[in-house]
Structure 1
Amino acid sequence: MDLPVMPPVQPMLARSAARIPVGMQYEGKWDGFRAIVFRDGDEVEIGSRSGKPLTRYFPELLLAVRAALPPRCVVDGEIVIARGGRLDFDALLERIHPADSRVRLLAERTPASLVVFDLLALGDADLTGSPLAERRRTLVEALGGAPPGPVHVAPATTDIEVAHRWFEQYEGAGLDGVVAKPLDLGYRPGERVMVKVKHERTADCVLAGFRFHKSGPVVGSLLLGLYQGTGGAGARLQHVGVCASFPMRRREALVQELAPLRMPSVEGHPWAAWADEEAAAVDRMPGAPSRWTGKKDLSWVPLRPERVCEVAYDHMQGGRFRHTAQFRRWRPDREPTSCTYAQLEEPVRYDLADVLAGPGPGAGGSDGSDGSDG
């Protein structure tokens, strides 16, 4: 492989903001695996955000890339899998498997797609120093004649009203917000120079345990649960995620604050069978064994599930918070058994095919279209 931009390349990143900024290019925030794809003729390499190759986990994309991308290019995008008209991140996680036979079986059952939103190199030209507006035009021209298939150009617009509409609609298809990019911005690997605006909702959760921080005997994260059904007698407490990001002084104070709730062992705790793989397959519990965790210490401190906290989260997937939740406040006015899934707001469904179909891939125009259809 001999390209003007060679692997590994760190993708350009985004910082969080509360509002969509004006005067930029806007795209949906895709919930998948970030990927830098390098193609030099038949040679294709797919690099992850960390720089490690993803190529072996998505064999179906190698064929698609050779069919849809220019013979020599480097593109930035997101690998996604759709089920039932929306993105399915869990299906992506299943791909990172050591057995090649398993990977190829899943490639047939749940094929992945590549959503392309930037162009770093084309032919012998390094485009990383060119402004985004120019790279976008070149990307649309380069992929405009590609056959229909699993490689898509991400819809983009410079109309902030369209961006606000996408922010509300696209969540129903599994996207988790909007990304704003300055039009004069060159490609700056590893730097947080874009802006991401994500959805935020709140939920009242049962505090059922905590893990110590890696730095010492202070709280690292709080383990959160929600009850199934109405939360009455016999209802199971499901582990839905963690909240973290406390200042160090607060982590220290939490150890003492939660001491009265500590249990001598997990015996009698709703997640007592947390280390049992069969039990973890039935109920959601913290630290269930998997190939992801390896030898990582997943031990945790059980707490009597008697305290409720309000947390902020972006969205749910597979019955759990997709990302780490943010602590907001204690809720002494709530009974733990009242903390059920029923309180969670469901976004209005929106078919992923409609996201990929339009409005067009261009960066201009009041409707987000430049007249091309990729």
Structure 2
Amino acid sequence: MKLPIPLDMEPMLSAPGEGIPRGDSWEYEPKWDGFRTLVFRDGDKVELISRGARPMTRYFPEVLPAFRKLRSDRVVLDGELIVVGDKGLDFGALQQRIHPADSRVRMLSEATPAWYVAFDLLAEGEEDLRSEPLGTRRKRLESLLKGAKQPIFLTPYTRDEATAEDWFKRFEGAGLDGVMAKSWKGAYVPGKRLWVKVKHQRTADCVVIGWRKSADGKSLGSLLLGLYRKNELNYVGHTSSFSAAERRELIAKLKPLQVDVPPSEWDSHSSGRMPGGLSRWSRGKDLEWVTVRPELVCEVAYDKLEAGERFRHATRFLRWRLDKPPRKCGFDQIESAAQFDVRGIFARK
């Protein structure tokens, strides 16, 4: 491909913010929960590249024809691949799209087709637009995508803080993560965390059901967490925000509670894969784990419970809850947002 930007460019990144930034220098966008993906098009050649510079093209054949129909035949876009289910964004279904078998890839491209939500234009023709202000790049992107149809969408934006606050609340019901804030006059700087991501943060009391060893097998890597649904304890995720000293203390704290539980028993209780199970994203990693009696309760901060079953990301340990009985740690404490149709986010002019 003869484009002004290399395929292995690291995309611009974001840093977490405590609240939506204020001031007339910002613009705001919905924060999509998908695969960050750069699109490189040079004539009929289209490449989809992940944030980590992995080729993604073969996994999403259904979106490629739409990129070949864009008004410009040489472009580089930044955006997210998403899958939309009955209840909004479905990250689990999106993860399943990464499969080694061509027959499975073709089947899933029809069963759970992906959409691409574009939010930046980095190059067009011979022009490298990364040094241009975001406002300029946005206008060029709107012109490029004028008349584009599903599966390509242009993310909405606003410069109004009240609208951003409204999006933050309403769009959670469609499965979105929160809101992005970007400098309207800012350039696109690869690898730099100059954008701000504002995500939903909540807390939950969880039962410690085990711990996973560190990569070298010499220390504690993370605590495994569970929640009760009726009388069944379900694995929901992990927390790993500990210092080296705290990890040593945790091993001593958990050792008296260690028990042997056969994998088949956890498999029947777990709402997802059992703790330490393999996924397509964890191949080659040491995922050995140790089971403990479900007697300790801790409070963690989380951003999202995916499909009502698993924490979307690693949680942040806050404190021990010595006053909380483990059986009181259930799914009923998890807040849910009012459902919102993803399609309503894209207001086409």
Same fold (TM over 0.5): yes
| Distance in 1, Cα, partners of 2:71 & 2:106 | 22
SS of the residue aligned with 2:139? helix
Higher mean displacement: 219-228 or 137-146:
137-146
| Distance in 2, Cα, partners of 1:291 & 1:48 | 15
Partner residue in 1 for 2:182: 181
SS of the residue aligned with 1:188? coil
Partner residue in 2 for 1:17: 17
Q: For 1:109-157, what per-residue CA distance to the aligned partner results, in whole angstroms no more than 9, with x for missing partners?
A: 11100000000001111101101111111111121132x2210110001
1:1-374 superposed matches below 5 A: 1-23=1-23, 24-68=26-70, 70-146=72-148, 148-215=149-216, 217-229=218-230, 235-263=231-259, 265-266=260-261, 273-274=265-266, 279=268, 284-318=273-307, 319-357=309-347, 373=349
Q: For 1:345-371, what per-residue CA distance to the aligned partner results, in whole angstroms no more than 9, with x for missing partners?
A: 11111110111226xxxxxxxxxxxxx
| Distance in 2, Cα, partners of 1:266 & 1:40 | 54
Cα drift, residue 284 of structure 1:
4.9
| Distance in 2, Cα, partners of 1:238 & 1:53 | 35
The answer to whether the Cα contact below 8 Å between 1:227 and 1:341 also exists between their aligned partners in 2 is: yes
The answer to whether the Cα contact below 8 Å between 2:27 and 2:181 also exists between their aligned partners in 1 is: yes
One-letter amino acid matched to 2:17: A
SS of the residue aligned with 1:312? strand
The answer to whether the Cα contact below 8 Å between 1:28 and 1:155 also exists between their aligned partners in 2 is: yes
Higher mean displacement: 291-300 or 89-98:
291-300
Q: For 1:255-288, what per-residue CA distance to the aligned partner results, in whole angstroms no more than 9, with x for missing partners?
A: 222222222x225xxx6645x6xx5887652123
Cα drift, residue 218 of structure 1:
2.7
SS of the residue aligned with 1:305? coil
One-letter amino acid matched to 1:338: K
When the two chains are superposed, the root-mean-square deviation of aligned CA atoms in Å is 1.8
One-letter amino acid matched to 1:236: E
Q: For 1:83-115, what per-residue CA distance to the aligned partner results, in whole angstroms no more than 9, with x for missing partners?
A: 015100011111110001101111011110000
| Distance in 1, Cα, partners of 2:181 & 2:152 | 22
Partner residue in 2 for 1:369: none
The answer to whether the Cα contact below 8 Å between 1:310 and 1:331 also exists between their aligned partners in 2 is: yes
| Distance in 2, Cα, partners of 1:69 & 1:311 | 48
One-letter amino acid matched to 1:332: L
The answer to whether the Cα contact below 8 Å between 2:215 and 2:286 also exists between their aligned partners in 1 is: no
One-letter amino acid matched to 1:198: K
SS of the residue aligned with 1:240? strand
The answer to whether the Cα contact below 8 Å between 1:9 and 1:36 also exists between their aligned partners in 2 is: no
| Distance in 1, Cα, partners of 2:70 & 2:87 | 23
Identity of aligned residues (%): 50
| Distance in 2, Cα, partners of 1:15 & 1:217 | 31
| Distance in 2, Cα, partners of 1:281 & 1:70 | 49
Summarize the Cα distance change of 1:280–1:305 in structure 2 as closer, same or farther, 3 Å threshold. Answer: closer
Q: For 1:270-311, what per-residue CA distance to the aligned partner results, in whole angstroms no more than 9, with x for missing partners?
A: x6645x6xx588765212344443343221111110111111
The answer to whether the Cα contact below 8 Å between 1:77 and 1:115 also exists between their aligned partners in 2 is: yes
One-letter amino acid matched to 2:76: V
One-letter amino acid matched to 2:145: L
One-letter amino acid matched to 1:347: A
SS of the residue aligned with 1:171? helix
Summarize the Cα distance change of 1:245–1:283 in structure 2 as closer, same or farther, 3 Å threshold. Answer: closer
One-letter amino acid matched to 2:20: I
Gaps of 5+ in 2: none
SS of the residue aligned with 1:258? helix
Normalised by the size of structure 1, how large is the TM-score? 0.88
SS of the residue aligned with 2:295? strand
SS of the residue aligned with 2:285? coil
The answer to whether the Cα contact below 8 Å between 2:70 and 2:144 also exists between their aligned partners in 1 is: no
| Distance in 2, Cα, partners of 1:283 & 1:143 | 38
SS of the residue aligned with 1:306? coil
| Distance in 2, Cα, partners of 1:219 & 1:288 | 17
The answer to whether the Cα contact below 8 Å between 2:233 and 2:269 also exists between their aligned partners in 1 is: no
The answer to whether the Cα contact below 8 Å between 1:238 and 1:284 also exists between their aligned partners in 2 is: no
| Distance in 2, Cα, partners of 1:282 & 1:158 | 41
One-letter amino acid matched to 2:13: L
Q: How many matched pairs?
A: 346
Higher mean displacement: 291-300 or 342-351:
291-300
One-letter amino acid matched to 1:321: F
Cα drift, residue 15 of structure 1:
0.4
Summarize the Cα distance change of 1:331–1:69 in structure 2 as closer, same or farther, 3 Å threshold. Answer: farther
